[in-house]
Amino acid sequence: MKAIIEKANVLIEALPYIRNFYGKTFVIKYGGAAMVDEKLKDAFAQDIVLLNLIGIKPVIVHGGGPKINKIMEKMGKKPTFVRGQRFTDSETIDIVEMVLGGLVNKQIVSLINSHGGRAIGLSGKDGGLLKARRKVMRKRSAAAGTPEIIDLGLVGDVEKVRPQIIHSVEKDGFIPVIAPISAGKKNETLNINADYVAGAVASALSAEKLILLTDTKGIVDKKKKLISTLGKTKIRSHISKNIISGGMIPKVEACQTALKGGVKKTHIIDGRVPHVLLLEIFTEKGIGTEIVK
């Protein structure tokens, strides 16, 4: 009887959050271990279906870096990253589109559907969802004292999100699952970092939350202690001190983009924890790092 009562208490604790979040949009960036481990994949799909059934509107933007790396290595290509972003040449972009827009996207859709959801796969090309341009990354040269342009190849920046297709599929009860690829001005395929896409989509939808799944417990300090809340000034300081580096940089920048666009809350959480979405959304304490204005 005690165990049954504890289950009831869990539901009661979740009740105010269910009430407050009913009808609200949550943009969730899905990536890392949560996309690889079979139990975590199932837990993620179950969480998404549950959110949808209780009236929350989940919009999923997914990565797929480990799968891309594996296929590249099989083809004799070595993955290269600059500040957490993949250098993408003409051969790599074909692999990226095949893996993200095809294999990974449809696997996620199928998994959600197998748990009773109604997911539909999209990419930034579908319905003109994402308008993108070639990304220009600059790095200040210590010798010359002037910015040095870093060539990332066929990597894109989101210029604009046209959310009509998302609204359309949601109206019919579907859960959008978005692959972060789009077409550039010359109709070339562009690989866009999934964190940046998630931040831009969250802004365009005026989402209640942006939640990014990663392979750490959140942002940690030099002593590996979790930083529960982080603002703009501290983010700049932590990047300069290399506390925030590599693939965490796009995540914090995506959160800042979302907050500027009117998203109420942004979170970086540990995708290695089963049912981490439910723990973040429906418990008082929450987990991970919240990025604030």
Per-domain residue ranges for the chain? 2-287
Q: What is the pLDDT of residue 148?
A: 72
User: Which is it for the CA torsion 37, 41, 110, 72, positive or negative?
Assistant: negative
pTM of the complete model beyond 0.85: yes
Cα separation, 210 vs 197, in Å, equals: 11
Mean pLDDT of the region 126-154: 79
User: 275: closest CA among 166, 155, 115?
Assistant: 115
pLDDT score of 33: 83
Supply the mean pLDDT for the chain: 91
The pLDDT value given to residue 244: 92
Once rounded to an integer, what is the mean pLDDT over residues 177-206? 95
Beta strands in 162-273, from DSSP E residues, in sequence order:
175-179, 181-183, 189-191, 209-214, 229-230, 265-270
Q: Fill in the DSSP letter of residue 34.
A: G
Please state which architecture CATH assigns to domain 2-287: 3-Layer(aba) Sandwich (3.40)
Task: Please return the burial class of 270, using the count of CB atoms within 10 Å of its CB with bins 0-12, 13-18 and 19+.
Answer: buried
Phi/psi of residue 86, nearest 5 degrees: -75, 130
The pLDDT of residue 51: 97
